[in-house]
Amino acid sequence: MPWLSCCHRAPKSKREDQYKVAEEPEEVNVEENQGEAMFSWERRPQMDIDKYRIHDLEGATEIRRGIAGQPMAIETCKNSKLLVLDHTSTITVDDCSDCLIVLAPCAGSVFLRDCQSCTVLVACQQLRTRDCRSLHIALHCATQPIIEETSDAIFHPLVLHYDAFVDDLIAARLSPFSRHSTSVHDFTPEKGSLHYKISREALELSSDYASVLASQRLLADVNDSDIPYCQEPFGKSHYFQAVNSDGEQRLTFVKRCQKVAQAVVASPPLRLVSTNEIDLQKHGSKLGISTKNSSTLVVLEVSGDGDVLEQIMTDGGFEKVPEHSESTFASSLAAINQIMLS
């Protein structure tokens, strides 16, 4: 679907041409050509483009499922609630205003262009905005988000739950524990002017927006979120780590670590400060961890102490990084994150 292949935007007058489906090949007379090989396009079912496009809505609520990793386009919508509840490969959102836009995990880039006064909830590999203003974005992003010719954008951590959210994250090759949404690259900065803000607080939705999510069994709550909610530490923090080994399936491992992180968030004496997921085959040596029979490491940084924390970590199969090694471990973790960001 070529209209989603890059961030460059075609002129509006020609946009409709981007959605034309190629003419079907001439029909083959099966009776006259029995035994002849069929071309691939004769066997391949035609794609219903409208299924992957939301456009020209005003004052509407639109829910899309069954996208199954295909690209998605949203265009020219006003004062609407738009929910895409299946993983995608890329998404473009153009010319939308005063909309709630909820996007299931995207394996590639999400582009927001010429949008204003929108609330966006999204997990993606990359986020880029262009010619936008007054955006509230709850974001979980594997890379540093990029803004261009954008003003008054506020970024919040994404807190979200629905039944298939973790499966969609994994299908989109995203981790609930790895994020680089705490910094933004402004491609068009202005001296003396800041075009964005970063908040560590979860985005508070209006009752109208919250009711739309609830009607689809979505929750945007800190305690229910499948992406662990992190806060500033109070006092000293400690690192805890868990590896998936001995053939443990990725989904099982992720859910095990999620359960531990959620237990920390739900315990008032404790505070989850940061989370990381590390590919041990690439970076294990930097942390001094053997990669034999292990592939992935999840690290939770927790502020607080006591029996409650010890019990949560023991039950979830996490081990504490020794205090004498914490400084070196933290430095190595920061270096790995910088490599992953670049």
Instruction: Report the C-alpha gap between 222 and 159 in whole angstroms.
Output: 6
265's enclosing H/E stretch is: helix 250-265
Residue 109 labelled as part of a binding site: yes
What phi and psi values does residue 3 have, to the nearest 5 degrees? -70, -10
Residue environment code for 101-113, b if the CB has 16+ CB neighbours within 10 A, otherwise e: bbbbbbbbbbbbb
Residue 125 labelled as part of a binding site: yes
Residue 46 labelled as part of a binding site: no
Contact call for residues 155 and 196 (beta carbons, < 8 A): yes
R_g of the chain computed on alpha carbons: 23
Instruction: Report the C-alpha gap between 297 and 224 in whole angstroms.
Output: 23
Instruction: Report the C-alpha gap between 318 and 338 in whole angstroms.
Output: 24
Annotated binding site: 108-109, 125-128
Q: Which residues are annotated as a binding site for GTP?
A: 108-109, 125-128
